[in-house]
Each structure stands twice: as structure tokens, then as C-alpha cells.
């Protein structure tokens, strides 16, 4: 399958999942959880389904592993950012947080590829 139909398929499938996850988020309390369920899980799920259909289970496994490593790294960066922004200000704190994300993500990916 060429790139353009795959991109279109991802957009349509991802959009449908965004709507479905947004509906789930609307039922939850507090409403601040709505955004959490609207974008990232639905786009990730759409991407994994299309990767599985077009490239197979092994490529899907690698993509899912990368998503998990990125999520753990993002959590570490967010935890560090809370204190780093207070301590160093917005710009330096954000740079420290980004550096933490990069180190954690690269380390997890290196361990996962072993």
C-alpha cells in the first residue's frame, strides 16, 4: 500500500477513535480527564492497528514498545519538571525536563532492543 492511502486511513481511523475516546472522557468525572482520553490513546491505537495490518505483528510489537518507553520517559520528565521549573525558571527547567526525557527514552529503548 502506498503512503498516501495509509496516511488517509490513519487520519480517518484515528479521528473515529478520537471521537469514541472523547465520549468516554465525557462520562468521567472530573471533566479534566476528557482531554486525557481524547487524543493520545486513540491515535496510538489507530497507529498500532494499521501497523499490524500493513507490516505485521513484529513491527506492531516494536511500535508498542516504543510507545511504552516514551510514556515512561514522559512521566519521568513531568516529575522532574515540577521541581526543575520552580528551581531554575521556565526555560532552564523545561530544558532539564527535555534532557531527562531523552536520557530515559534512549535508555529504555536500548534496554528493549537488547
What is the structure's pLDDT at 1? Answer: 61
Secondary structure, 3-state, the chain = CCHHHHHHHHHHHHHHHHHHHHHHHHHCCCHHHHHHHHCHHHHHHHHHHHHHHHHCHHHHHHHHHHHHHHHHHHHHHHHHHHHHHHHHCHHHHHHHHHHHHHHHHHHHHHHHHC
Quick check: 34 pLDDT over 90? no
State residue 22's pLDDT score: 76
Statement: the pTM of the whole predicted model exceeds 0.75:
no
pLDDT band at 35 (very low <50, low <70, confident <90, very high): low
Quick one: pLDDT band at residue 86, thresholds 50, 70, 90? very high
- Which range among 10-24, 25-39, 42-56 shows the weakest confidence by mean pLDDT? 25-39
Q: What's the CA angle centered on 76, arms 72 and 78, to 5 degrees? A: 115
Amino acid at each position: 500500500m502506498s503512503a498516501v492511502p495509509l496516511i488517509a486511513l490513519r487520519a480517518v481511523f484515528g479521528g473515529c477513535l478520537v471521537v469514541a475516546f472523547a465520549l468516554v472522557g465525557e462520562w468521567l468525572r472530573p471533566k479534566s480527564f476528557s482531554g486525557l482520553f481524547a487524543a493520545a490513546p486513540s491515535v496510538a491505537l489507530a497507529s498500532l492497528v494499521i501497523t499490524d495490518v500493513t507490516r505485521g505483528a513484529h513491527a506492531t510489537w516494536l511500535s508498542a514498545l516504543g510507545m511504552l518507553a516514551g510514556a515512561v520517559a514522559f512521566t519521568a520528565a513531568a516529575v522532574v519538571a515540577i521541581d526543575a521549573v520552580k528551581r531554575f525558571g521556565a526555560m532552564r527547567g523545561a530544558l532539564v525536563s527535555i534532557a531527562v526525557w531523552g536520557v530515559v527514552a534512549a535508555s529504555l529503548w536500548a534496554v528493549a532492543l537488547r
